[in-house]
Copies of this chain bind each other. A is one copy, B any other.
Amino acid sequence: MKLTTKGRYAVTAMMDLALHETDKRRVALKSIADHQEISVAYLEQIFAKLKANGLVRGTRGPNGGYRLSKPARNISIFEIIDAVDEPIDVTRCHGRKDCQDGEVCLTHELWTDLSHQISSFLDQLKLGDIVKTPRVRAVAERQSMRCAETKHTQRVSFS
């Protein structure tokens, strides 16, 4: 379980989708790219993985874009990060059980315990819950207002 900026991009992007879940419209990567100020091409890589892990579905063409492939309340933060970030090998002995003699194994349980701790924490956190919090809601409102105001300027700050 690694946590890189890629994983963070993925989580905020998924929140973006979750916030528009009620709409019929798909969310285009272009729009997310503007929100997060990263390139569409980079987002494509992230969404390729999200899609491969069955978290989103994409449709092409004008008015195309992505939507969540299941309800936000059933998607955990763990799933999202796990989909895009490579798993880190916390134990250094590559998870083999028969490492009773190697140096690593003194601390083997230490690292696996930690790893489980992190995973279960993030697995309890559902996208739906986070999107429901007042802060996020408020920010989402502000965002859509701002989008309307500055539609053509292309420079919108997500939050």
List residues of A whose CB falls within 8 A of some B CB. 3, 5, 8, 11-12, 15, 35-37, 77, 88, 90, 92, 100-107, 109-111, 114, 117-118, 121-122, 125, 130, 135-136, 139, 157-159
One complex includes copies of this chain to the number of 2
In the bound complex, how far is the Cα of B104 from the Cα of A15, in angstroms?
12
Which residue of the partner chain, among B3, B37, B92, B100, contacts A103 with CB atoms under 8 Å?
B37
Name the prevailing secondary structure of the A interface residues.
helix
A137 to chain B minimum Cβ distance, whole angstroms, is: 11
Residue of B nearest to A142 (CB): B101
Q: Is the CB of A36 within 8 A of B103?
A: yes
Q: Flag if B139 contacts A12 (CB, 8 Å).
A: no
B90, A139: Cβ atoms under 8 Å? no
CB neighbours (8 Å) of A11 from chain B are 107, 110
Which residues in B have their C-beta under 8 angstroms from that of A139? 105-106
User: Could you tell me if B77 and A110 are in contact, using CB atoms closer than 8 angstroms?
Assistant: yes
CB distance from A144 to the nearest CB of B (A): 14
